[in-house]
Amino acid sequence: MSAVILSGKDMAAELLEQQSARVDTLRLNGIHPALAVIMVGEDPASAIYVRNKERACAKAGIASQVIRLPEHTTQEELHARIEELNEDPLVHGILIQLPLPKHLNETAALTWVRASKDVDGFHVINAGHLLQGHPTVLPCTPQGILYMLKKAHVPLEGAHAVVVGRSNIVGKPLALLLLGENCTVTLCHSRTRDLASVTRQADILVAAVGRPRLITADMVKPGAAVIDVGINRVDGKLCGDVDFDAVAERAAYITPVPGGVGPMTVAMLLENTLEAACRA
C-alpha cells in the first residue's frame, strides 16, 4: 500500500485535548458550553451519529442534551421547540439532525435556528456568507475535510479538486470552501457524463454520494488525495464510497472508513459549539 492514510480518528483525538483545555478556560470565566441536538423520528443511522456527538461532547466537557421528537411532529411543533432553545441563554449551539421526516421542511427548520446558535452552518444566512466568500460558521464535514488536507500539507492552490456529490451538507459547501482556497473545483453528481474521465483529472478527489465503492482505482489519478465521505453498510460492515484497498495503491493520501472523515465531522461540531459559546 503506497498512500499515506489520513487518520481522522487521531486528528480528532488531538483536537479533543485542545478543546477540553478550552472548555476549562471558558468554565473559569463562568461559561459552560452547551449543545442541544434535535432529532425527529427514529432513523437508525441518525441515532448512531447523535450518540457519537453526545459522547464526544461528554469527553470534551461540553454539556449536551438530545431532544427526541416523534416521527409525526408537525412543522409548528418543531419550530416551537427550536424557539425555546433560541431563547435559552444556557444553550450555545443548536443542531437539527438531518434528514428530517419527509413531511417536514428542512430549510424552514434550519433557518428557524438563531443564526448565532447554528453550529452546522446550514442557516441560509450562514450559507450565504460562505457563498459570498466570507464564511462565518462552516459546515462540519467540509471544515473537517479541509482541516485534514491542510494538516497533511496537501497543496490546495491551483489544484484541481473534484467533488462527487452535490448535497447541501457536504458537496456544495465543500466546493465553495475549496474554491476559497484557490482550488479549481469541479462538482459532479448523478447526471455527470463519463464520471471517470472527470475524476481522473483530480488532484483532490472527494466522494460524498453514499454508494459503496463507487470510486475504483481506474478512476483515480496516481498521486491524488482521496477523501471518502461515504458511510455505507455492506453485509454488516462499514465501507465508504471508495474502493479503499485498490485506490490506496494509486493515491498519495487516502482517508479510511471508519476512522476518517466521520470523527472529524464530530470534532468540528465541538469546535463550532465552542466558538458559539465564546461569542455568547
Residues at the interface with ligand GUN (CB under 6 A): 95-98, 120, 140-141, 169, 265
What's the min distance (Å) between Cβ of 160 and ligand GUN?
26
| Whether 59 is catalytic | no
User: How far, in Å, CA of 100 to CA of 85, rounded?
Assistant: 18
| Comparison of 11 and 95: residue with beta carbon closer to ligand GUN | 95
Could you tell me where the beta strands, DSSP code E, fall in 79-234? 93-96, 160-164, 184-188, 204-207, 225-228, 232-234
Residue 230 CB-half CA count within 13 A? 28
Round to whole Å and give the CA distance between 107 and 105.
6
Residue 6 or 37: the one with the smaller Cβ distance to ligand GUN is 37
In this structure, the chain runs to a length of: 280
Alpha carbons 88 and 65: distance in angstroms, whole number: 13
SS (H, E, C) 50-111: HHHHHHHHHHHCCEEEEEEECCCCCHHHHHHHHHHHHHCCCCCEEEECCCCCCCCCHHHHHH
Residue nearer to ligand GUN on the CB measure, 98 or 174: 98
- Is 53 an active-site residue? yes
Q: Is 177 helix (H, G, I), strand (E, B) or coil?
A: helix
Smallest separation (angstroms) from ligand GUN to the CB of 139: 7
Q: What are the C-alpha distances in Å from 249 to residues 58, 196, 197, 226?
A: 38, 17, 19, 12
* From 19, 117, 118, 120, active-site residue: 120
- Let me know if 203 is a catalytic residue: no
Strand ranges (DSSP E) for 93-217? 93-96, 160-164, 184-188, 204-207
Residue with cell 473534484: 162
CB of 107 to ligand GUN, least distance (A): 13
Which residue's C-beta sits nearest to ligand GUN? 98
Query: Which of 123, 250 has the CB closer to ligand GUN?
Result: 123
Select 121 or 203, whichever has its Cβ closest to ligand GUN: 121
Q: In the numeric block, which cell numbers belong to residue 164?
A: 462527487
Shortest spacing between CB 43 and ligand GUN, in angstroms = 9
Residues belonging to the active site: 53, 97, 120
